[in-house]
Amino acid sequence: MFKALVQAYARFKGDELFLPTAHKWRVPTWVIELDENNRYFIKGPYGREDHAPLPAPDRQRSGKVAGGNLKPKLLFDDPRYTLGLNFGGDKNSEVDLMHTGYLNLISSAADSTKEPLLAKVAYLLQSSLVNELKRDFISKRKTELEARAKERSRRGRKGWEVIFSELWGESKGELITFSFKGAYLVRLPAVQRFWAEHLKDELVIARSQCSICGEENDIVRLIPGEVTIQGQNCQITSFNERAFDSFGKRQTPNASICFECATKAVDTLRYLLNPRSRHSYNVVGDKDATSSLGRITAIFWISQSIKVEPSELNMSDFNFDTLEDFLGRITASEPPPAIRATLETIKRSLKAPYKPTPLTAQTDFHLMLVAANNRRFVLRDHISQPVSLILEQVERWLQASEIVDYFGHQRVPSLITLTKALAYRPGSRKHNLNPTHARTLYRTAYTGTSPSYGVLAKALSNFKNPKLFELADSHDGKLSESRQTAQLMLWGLASVIKLWIAYRKGEKGMEQLEERRGSVPYLLGRLLAWLERIQWEASGRTLERTIAQTHFGIASYAPALAFGQLLKSATIAHLPKLKKSHDNKQAGFAVNAEKELGRIASSIGKLPKTLTLEEQAEFALGFYHQRADFRAKTRERKEAEAEVGHE
């Protein structure tokens, strides 16, 4: 993984969103603007809405401030470091130390870069001018906070003085930076280079061979910098996939890595995680997951840029910007069936001799699944494959996962839907995710590996949850949100079961009801759906709970035990009752249903005692397909009736 990121550095470093080494996007609260005559103007306070983020020098800062532990940030730090101002909460002696450290850093940056603007800042902060600057800063802050406190006090019950003192204490985290006639000093290349070199001196422990570039180089003691995942700032302690097993708690020893490789990898990772670069998305975000361990972010990229016009390939019809975007996001979206034709065009065009960038065997697509756990970076998986192979796999995936939804429309669910379906708890909005399942599904989609038995077992156990059908079939208006979720999750689970069969057994089809499919478990599933429908009609469509809700689990596991009684009630009670009905539609239905029941039952023959896990998968699909088919037919009939009505 480390190597892949270092290699990707060359491709992305020129992008305007790519940060210089050891920098982070930050919005300054205050900008001290200088001019030729050593005059200054304090501009601010700014927030996200009124100031664009700047590349701010960044570093780890932890532990108690002491002579040996001073970690100022160059030209981008808070009032304690920048001006030596104590807003409370710190000892004066500590703030003095912070400010001294900051001044020393500016001086040494000015010396080493010979940058006259840095010398200007150093002069301002070390001459007598600084006292005036501090006074101005404090009074500007005071005026601004007073106004804010009075405003809040008018709306609340607290006195403005109380609010003011709270705000005053909070202001120690505000960031101050410098500009000269509108140009920010942190943007100067010499300043950025100095910062990287400065950090390097602190981090390097030895000279040895780097395991990534193979050069005799300066080896770092820890990986510099943090990355932001789902709003959490995470320290990278390890790039090992093993970190997953230890949940990132144990510090796994890294191989020797040089400063250059380490920073290239982190800088690239930050770029890819920046939402504006469109190289990542949340598979399961914090709004969906019960625990931080369940949150997963996917990052993707191609090792070299491939120029393919989206419009030429109809990709823009589906909102994909580039081939890279297409490969990364196709599994995360729910594309209409027409996407298959586009995929074919892409494959053909990449093979064509005139293509602008030749696809070589080395053009790899990369996908990483990452998470943040207790402010630590956790790598769940890293998949890398040649683009040509990925295209084949994605096509296979779309085929394998496509299935009718709850209402009988044939569609492809997204990997996000499938991941959530496996973690679904009916009635709860949060999902209890097992990251291994998400990982397995991504592996299947992008590498063609068959999904594990664990995934099937989980899908079936969720499918058997009576609460799932209860919610999906509910007519209660108050439950509409839960109902929609349950219907979506049911579709997702059916898709997982279907794709499991497709990959394990190499079977095609099964997108919708297959009336000719002779598999006994599949027929049994259909039989249960018919029995449920018959019972439902016979009850006058008023049942609280259907037999699917009460009997699905046992019927899919021990058919002989469950079906005897169910068949008896249908043939002795429900069907005769329906046939006697004065409603012609009901009587007609009963005749058809009896025929269908007989046909299915005779194809089944003797009822099996138990079904294996794989057979239960067939059972679930038979049941699901048959129900979706009922809904599709009802819809078609209603549409036809509506047409007639309009004529």
Q: List interacting residues with Zn ion (CB under 5 A).
A: 210, 212-213, 258, 261
Nearer residue to Zn ion within complex by CB, 261 or 422: 261
Distance CA 65, CA 82 (A): 15
Distance CA 82, CA 77 (A): 6
Q: Give least dist CB 214 to Zn ion, A.
A: 7
**Which candidate, 8, 15, 6, places its Cα nearest to that of 364?**
8
Strands (E) across 360-424 are located at 364-373, 376-386, 403-404, 410-411
Q: Give least dist CB 207 to Zn ion, A.
A: 12
Nearer residue to Zn ion within complex by CB, 9 or 137: 9
Nearer residue to Zn ion within complex by CB, 212 or 398: 212
Nearer residue to Zn ion within complex by CB, 13 or 340: 13
Q: Strand, helix or coil at 35?
A: coil
Distance CA 409, CA 601 (A): 27
Q: Give least dist CB 9 to Zn ion, A.
A: 11
**Which candidate, 221, 254, 227, 203, places its Cα nearest to that of 376?**
227
Nearer residue to Zn ion within complex by CB, 303 or 393: 303
For the beta carbon of residue 523, count every other beta carbon within 10 angstroms: 22
Q: Give least dist CB 220 to Zn ion, A.
A: 10
Q: Give least dist CB 218 to Zn ion, A.
A: 9
Distance CA 534, CA 529 (A): 9
**How many residues would you count in the chain?**
647
| Strand partners for 585 | none
For the beta carbon of residue 640, count every other beta carbon within 10 angstroms: 10
Distance CA 513, CA 502 (A): 15
Q: Hey, what are 170's tokens?
A: 């909070």
Q: Give least dist CB 481 to Zn ion, A.
A: 52
Q: Give least dist CB 215 to Zn ion, A.
A: 6
Q: Give least dist CB 213 to Zn ion, A.
A: 3
Q: Parallel, antiparallel, or unpaired for β 176-180 and 30-34? A: parallel
User: For the chain, how many helices (H) and strands (E)?
Assistant: 22, 17
Nearer residue to Zn ion within complex by CB, 197 or 614: 197
Q: Give least dist CB 69 to Zn ion, A.
A: 28
Q: Give least dist CB 253 to Zn ion, A.
A: 17
Distance CA 495, CA 490 (A): 9
Nearer residue to Zn ion within complex by CB, 256 or 305: 256
For the beta carbon of residue 478, count every other beta carbon within 10 angstroms: 8
Nearer residue to Zn ion within complex by CB, 236 or 261: 261
Helices (H), 171-322: 189-203, 259-273
| Strand partners for 502 | none
Contact 402, 335 (CB under 8 A): no
Nearer residue to Zn ion within complex by CB, 208 or 319: 208
Q: Say how many CA atoms lie within 13 Å of 109 toward its Cβ.
A: 33
Nearer residue to Zn ion within complex by CB, 13 or 504: 13
| Strand partners for 176 | 30, 77
Nearer residue to Zn ion within complex by CB, 101 or 224: 224
Residue 38, phi-psi category: left (phi > 0), alpha (psi -120 to 50), beta (remainder): left
Radius of gyration over every alpha carbon of the chain, rounded to an integer in angstroms: 32
